[in-house]
Structure 1
Amino acid sequence: MTADDSFGRLNDDDYPAYTMGRAAELLGTTPGFLRALGEHRLITPLRSEGGHRRYSRYQLRIAARAREIVDQGTPIEAACRIVILEDQLEEAQRINAEHRRAASRSEADI
């Protein structure tokens, strides 16, 4: 892998670039909070060769949303479920929009 390949990966939202400590620092939370999100299957960090947890930017956005909900007084289990449902809704809306665009193109071809 070249240096250009390595730097290019930093633009990848799914690249696990952040250690647990750095991720917790960026989120203003504790490593324990991140571990709890993993226990509730909201995010599953990848592991480095040494077995250390690594987080992606996408996972940090998900964790930040969970933290917002927890900070409002919602238990962590419920916050994780809310974030999962929000993510599923966003994906369903994206798929529906794609189907509507495809249908519009098909009607225009008729």
Structure 2
Amino acid sequence: MPRPATSDRLDDDDYPAYTMGRAAEMIGTTPAFLRALGEAQLITPLRSPGGHRRYSRYQLRIAARARDLVDQGTPIEAACRIIILEDQLEEARRINEQLRAAANPPPQQQ
């Protein structure tokens, strides 16, 4: 299978493009905070061939949301749980909308 072009990978929200140091810098936190999010199982960074943590843009958005909650005084464990529940609620809403659309198809024009 051919490798995707570099620009395709960088456009991919799930591509692990950022090192821990760069990721921490981008969201205004410390590497220790990112490690704590991993320990809380909120995000699981991929590992480079050398074993270094690598983060995607999607993971950085989640980490930034956690940082915002912690900055507001929420304990990190609670912040992680809130984000997980928000994600589950969004998924349930999406599924509910799909089921409603399938149950009530638009009338056909004649």
Compute the TM-score of the two structures, normalised by the length of structure 2: 0.91
Q: Distance in 2 between matches of 1:21 and 1:54?
A: 10
How far apart are residue 55 of structure 1 and its match?
0.4
| C-alpha RMSD over aligned residues | 1.4
Residue 54 (structure 2) aligns with:
54
Where does the alignment leave 5 or more consecutive residues of structure 2 unmatched? Answer: none
* Higher normalized helix content (fraction of residues): 1
User: Identity of aligned pairs, percent?
Assistant: 75
Partner of 1:10: helix, strand, or coil? helix
CA deviation map 1:27-82 (0-9, x unaligned): 00000000000000000000000000000111001101101100000110110000
Runs ≥4 residues deviating over 2 A: none
* Distance (whole Å) between structure 2 residues aligned to residue 64 and residue 16 of structure 1: 16
Query: How far is the alpha carbon of 1:101 from its aligned partner?
Result: 1.4
User: Paired residue for 1:80?
Assistant: 80
TM-score (norm 1): 0.91
Whole-angstrom CA distance in 1 between matches of 2:28 and 2:47: 22
Counterpart for residue 20 of structure 2: 20
Tell me which amino acid in the other structure corresponds to 2:8.
G
Which whole-Å CA distance do the structure 2 matches of 1:10 and 1:104 have between them? Answer: 39
